[in-house]
Structures are given as C-alpha cells and as structure tokens.
C-alpha cells in the first residue's frame, strides 16, 4: 500500500495553487515550495502561454490541476497530462475553472496586470490564504475585492515587499494606534538621471532596475514610479487607512521595506535584503517563519541608509495618483488599465518612455466620471480604453 507523505508525517501538506507560475514571482514561489516540500505541495499551476516552462514544471512538481490560456495542439504537455492523470485546462477560462474545482489552502496570484482582478475575486472564498502579488487587482477593483473579502473568511497576506513589511509591523498592534505609514521606494533606475535626457530612455535602460530583479512590466512601472503609485493605492485598500496617512519616501538602498509610526511616537520597520523570496516565503507559509538561505544583512560593516522626499517633477504620477484618488469615481481603475496598455506599447517600442504618463493622464481625462464600477462595467471600460489607445 502506498502511504501518502502527508499521512506518514501525520500533518497535512498545504495545497498551493500558483496563478502566473512562469513569471518572476511564480518561479521564485516554486523554488520556495521545493525547499519546503515537507509542508507545501503544488496542487495547481496556471500560466498564460509559457507551455515549455509549464511542461517542465509539471514534470517536476506533479500538480493535480494545470491551466494554460494558449498552447499548440501537439504540445507534449497535453499527452503528459493525459497519461499522468493530471487535469489540464486550456483556454482563457482555464484558471477560473481550476479555481472552481480545486480545494486550495494557499493561492498565489502572481499574474501581471489588471487582468488579475478576475483571479483575485475568484480566489476569495475558495482558498484559506490569498497570497497576493498582483497589486493591480486591488487598484482596479479595490471596492469589489474589499466587498468580497468582507463576505468570506479568506485571509489576505500581501506578497509585495512593502505591504508584507507593513503587515508584519502591524502584527500585535491596534489599528487605532497607527498614525502613519512610510512606504519606501528605491526611485528606480532614473532617480538621478538628467531630466533633459529622458527623451532618449531605451527599453533596456528602463527595465534595468538597480536593486530588484523583476518582470518587465513592473520594472517599467518602477522606472516611472507608477509602481509606487499602485502600491500607495494597494496600501490604502489592504490596510484601510486614509490616503494622507501614507507617505511615499525614497530609500535608494531598498533595505527598509516600509515603516509604520504609532500614536506614541514609536516606529517599527521591517528590513531585509532586496530579495522577493523573503516576502513570498512568508506568505506561502501563512505568516510562519522558517529557515532560509536568503542573503543576510551585515550590521558590522559601515552602513548608510538614505531617505529623500519624492521629486514630483521627476515622477509626476505620484502627484496625479493622489489627485485621482481624492476625486474618486473610476479614475484610479482607468489609471491602472491605461498603464497596462501603454507600458506594453513602450516595451514593444511603439511609444517613448516620456509618453507613458501623459498618455495615462489623457486617458483618465477622457473617461473620468464619478461612478464606481461593477465587474461588467469594468470589462466594458477596459475595451473602450483599449480602443482609445489603439490596441
Ligand atoms: P511576470 O511578467 O514575470 O510574470 C507574469 C505571469 O503572469 C506569467 O506567469 C504569465 O504567464 C502570467 N500571465 C500574464 N497574463 C496572463 C493572463 N492573461 N492570464 C493568466 N496568466 C497570465 O510578472 P512578475 O514580475 O512576476 O509580477 C507578477 C505580479 O507580481 C505583478 O502584479 C507585479 O506587480 C507583482 N510584483 C512583482 C514583484 C517582482 O519582484 N517581480 C514584486 C512585487 C510585486
Ligand atoms: Mg513593491
């Protein structure tokens, strides 16, 4: 008789689903699961179109469910899944189908872009812990996500390093005692670049982040500092704090991942090397701490950690996002949807780096109104924005 590993050790393996498994966050999550195979098991893997990567991952991790949006009819993954009793779902609704039938303990939403909202909404109520890397879903559908969270017991653990830091700083604290959050940002590759040369910024320069190794879209977002604008909204939505309680500060070393200030004048910060695996592991282990071989900080060397206020002239999106959040309505969702599109156009070299934020601003001006959006209205607005931006 074959005894399942979980029965042998008398504790259940946590079943993990990874949505966006072939990306920067998804791959790091798989390496963490490998390191903790005595307690974590890959149950479901979903990707957009990286069929070769998925095939290798399926052979290595033996998930029960596999989803892919696009795959060639004769790809060996299809035969492998059918021979090995693995349920393979193909097509744009593959992830949703898996969410419906799988019984996940922990689900990681590591899809990139506002399209991740459907996965976030689908997972709430369907898993115990939602490890959320896809910040865009909170930006584009903040109210919808909040409403759904209020009606279900699923717990959200942020994967974004700043929000993981704030989450950890708030453990054991009363929310009423929180005075301020300091959301740190490195300033990206163009923190000190001469503004007169912004016209000639190339894709290669924009995706070359000084501290973090990440996917292409978030790397460009870091270069415009849209990433910090998205994170500012993400913090408001996750921690239910007032916009004027969150201050963005530049911290070029990316060691302090964020800080909180309490009413008594005391501060807490969470520190670590700029390595996303720390925050991913923390979320996948449901907030438990376990040994890791991730890089350590050394406090015996001479250290200097710098902090600067934001230069709004260099990074105008950080001014605009505050204005749009104050004005409310559909402005913040438009910002995220338009950003997904124009960053894609920049990466395809169809527009210049300096066109990114003005195009988003124009799109917000064109479509802004004061109504909040249902899921259906959001889908309709997305198609209108795609059409407006020439997709
Ligand atoms: P990435 O581009 O490296 O990977 C994206 C993943 O999403 C891929 O697996 C791709 O197959 C999948 N995907 C894309 N479109 C999809 C679709 N329509 N349906 C299903 N799957 C789809 O992205 P990333 O850098 O890993 O970032 C993922 C998310 O995590 C983003 O929201 C990003 O802002 C956030 N995040 C990333 C980092 C980082 O270090 N990379 C840090 C903090 C937060
Ligand atoms: Mg971050």
Full residue range of the structural domain in which residue 24 is found: 6-159
- Count other C-beta atoms under 10 Å from residue 130's C-beta: 27
Ligand nearest to the backbone CA of 231: 2
Which residues is 33 bridged to in the sheet? none
CB 101 within 8 A of CB 125: no
Starting at the edge strand found earlier in the chain, the sheet holding 256-262 runs 246-250, 178-185, 256-262, 267-271
Cβ of residue 53 lying under 6 Å from some atom of ligand 1: no
> Which residues have C-beta within 8 Å of that of residue 387, sequence separation ≥ 6?
none
Which of these three, 159, 188, 208, is where a domain ends? 159
pLDDT of residue 11: 62
The tokens describing 314, both together, are 């260099």
Residue 119 lies in a domain: yes
Residue listed under structure tokens 């584009």: 140
Answer yes or no: do 131 and 177 share one domain. no
Which of these three, 115, 137, 159, is where a domain ends? 159
Answer yes or no: do 138 and 190 share one domain. no
Cβ of residue 24 lying under 6 Å from some atom of ligand 1: yes
Which of these three, 327, 342, 366, is where a domain ends? 327
CB 105 within 8 A of CB 129: yes
Residue 365 lies in a domain: no
Distance between CA atoms of 322 and 83, rounded to whole angstroms?
A: 54
Distance between CA atoms of 229 and 224, rounded to whole angstroms?
A: 10
Residue 98 lies in a domain: yes
Residue 389 lies in a domain: no
Answer yes or no: do 126 and 202 share one domain. no
Choose the residue to mutate in 67, 93, 110 for probing ligand 1, maximizing ligand atoms within 8 Å of C-beta.
Answer: 110
Answer yes or no: do 197 and 229 share one domain. yes
Answer yes or no: do 212 and 126 share one domain. no
Answer yes or no: do 13 and 85 share one domain. yes
Residue among 39, 46, 27 at smallest CA distance from 277: 27
Distance between CA atoms of 171 and 235, rounded to whole angstroms?
A: 15
Per-residue pLDDT of the chain (391 residues; tens, 9 = 90+): 444 454 445 568 999 999 999 999 999 999 999 999 999 999 999 999 999 999 999 999 999 999 999 999 999 999 999 999 999 999 999 999 999 999 999 999 999 999 999 999 999 999 999 999 999 999 999 789 999 999 999 999 999 999 999 999 999 999 999 999 999 999 999 999 999 999 999 999 999 988 888 999 999 999 999 999 999 999 999 999 999 999 999 999 999 999 999 999 999 999 999 999 999 999 999 999 999 999 999 998 878 899 999 999 999 999 999 999 999 999 999 999 999 999 999 999 999 999 999 999 999 999 999 988 899 999 999 999 999 999 9
The tokens describing 68, both together, are 């892919």
Atom 31 in ligand 1: which residue has the minimum CA distance?
112
Residue 23 lies in a domain: yes
Cβ of residue 134 lying under 6 Å from some atom of ligand 1: yes
DSSP-H helix ranges across the chain: 5-8, 24-35, 51-61, 76-83, 94-101, 117-123, 135-140, 142-150, 161-170, 203-206, 216-224, 226-239, 276-284, 317-327, 331-347, 356-367, 375-388
Q: How far is the CA of 160 from the centre of ligand 2 (A)?
A: 5
Answer yes or no: do 321 and 305 share one domain. yes
CB 215 within 8 A of CB 343: no
- CATH number, residue 78: 3.40.50.720
Please list the helix, strand and coil fractions of the chain in percent, rounded to the nearest 5, in that order: 50, 15, 35
Answer yes or no: do 200 and 83 share one domain. no
Answer yes or no: do 146 and 180 share one domain. no
Answer yes or no: do 228 and 137 share one domain. no
Cβ of residue 363 lying under 6 Å from some atom of ligand 1: no
> Which residues are close to ligand 2, an ion, with C-beta < 5 A?
160-162
CB 280 within 8 A of CB 131: yes
HSE (side-chain half, CA atoms, 13 Å) at 148: 24
Residue 374 lies in a domain: no
Q: How far apart are the first and last CA of the chain?
A: 57
Choose the residue to mutate in 57, 218, 284 for probing ligand 1, maximizing ligand atoms within 8 Å of C-beta.
Answer: 218
pLDDT of residue 213: 87
Answer yes or no: do 111 and 169 share one domain. no
Helix (H, G, I), strand (E, B) or coil at 69: coil
pLDDT of residue 68: 98
Cβ of residue 26 lying under 6 Å from some atom of ligand 1: yes
Q: Rounded to the nearest 5 degrees, what angle is found at the Cα of 323, between the Cα atoms of 321 and 329?
A: 90
Residue among 389, 376, 375 at smallest CA distance from 145: 375
Choose the residue to mutate in 17, 18, 19, 25 for probing ligand 1, maximizing ligand atoms within 8 Å of C-beta.
Answer: 25
Based on the structure, what is the number of domains in the chain? 2
Q: How far is the CA of 161 from the centre of ligand 2 (A)?
A: 5
Answer yes or no: do 296 and 168 share one domain. yes
Helix (H, G, I), strand (E, B) or coil at 160: coil
Residue 206 lies in a domain: yes
Residue 149 lies in a domain: yes
């Amino acid at each position: 008789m074959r005894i399942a590993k979980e029965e042998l050790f008398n504790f259940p393996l946590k079943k993990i689903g990874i949505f966006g498994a072939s990306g920067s966050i998804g791959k790091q999550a798989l390496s963490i699961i490998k390191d903790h195979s005595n307690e974590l098991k890959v149950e479901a893997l979903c990707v957009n179109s990286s069929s070769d990567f998925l095939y290798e991952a399926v052979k290595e991790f033996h998930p029960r469910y596999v989803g892919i949006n696009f795959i060639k009819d004769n790809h060996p993954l299809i035969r492998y899944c059918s021979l090995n009793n693995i349920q393979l779902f193909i097509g744009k609704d593959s992830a949703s189908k898996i969410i419906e039938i799988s019984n996940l303990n922990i689900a990681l939403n590591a899809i990139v872009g506002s399209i991740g909202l459907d996965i976030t909404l689908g997972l709430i109520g369907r898993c115990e812990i939602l490890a959320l890397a896809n910040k865009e879903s909170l930006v584009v559908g903040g109210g919808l996500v909040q409403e759904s969270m209020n009606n279900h017991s699923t717990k959200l653990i942020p994967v974004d390093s700043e929000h993981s830091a704030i989450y950890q700083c708030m453990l054991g604290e009363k929310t009423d005692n929180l005075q301020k959050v300091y959301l740190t940002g490195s300033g990206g590759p163009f923190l000190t670049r001469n503004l007169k040369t912004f016209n000639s910024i190339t894709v290669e320069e924009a995706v070359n982040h000084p501290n973090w190794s990440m996917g292409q879209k978030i790397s460009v977002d870091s270069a415009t500092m849209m990433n910090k604008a998205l994170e500012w909204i993400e913090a408001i939505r996750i921690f239910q704090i007032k916009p004027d309680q969150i201050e963005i500060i530049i911290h070029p070393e990316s060691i302090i991942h964020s800080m909180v200030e309490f009413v008594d004048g005391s501060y807490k910060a969470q520190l670590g090397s700029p390595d996303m695996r720390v925050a991913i592991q923390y979320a996948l282990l449901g907030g438990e701490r376990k040994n890791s071989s991730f890089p350590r900080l050394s406090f015996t060397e001479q250290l200097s950690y710098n902090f600067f206020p934001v230069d709004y002239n260099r990074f105008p999106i950080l001014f605009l996002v505050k204005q749009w959040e104050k004005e409310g309505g559909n402005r913040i969702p438009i910002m995220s949807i338009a950003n997904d599109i124009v960053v894609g156009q920049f990466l395809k070299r169809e527009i210049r780096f300096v066109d990114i934020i003005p195009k988003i601003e124009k799109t917000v001006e064109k479509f802004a109104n004061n109504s909040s959006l249902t899921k259906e209205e959001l889908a309709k607005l997305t198609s209108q924005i795609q059409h407006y931006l020439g997709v």
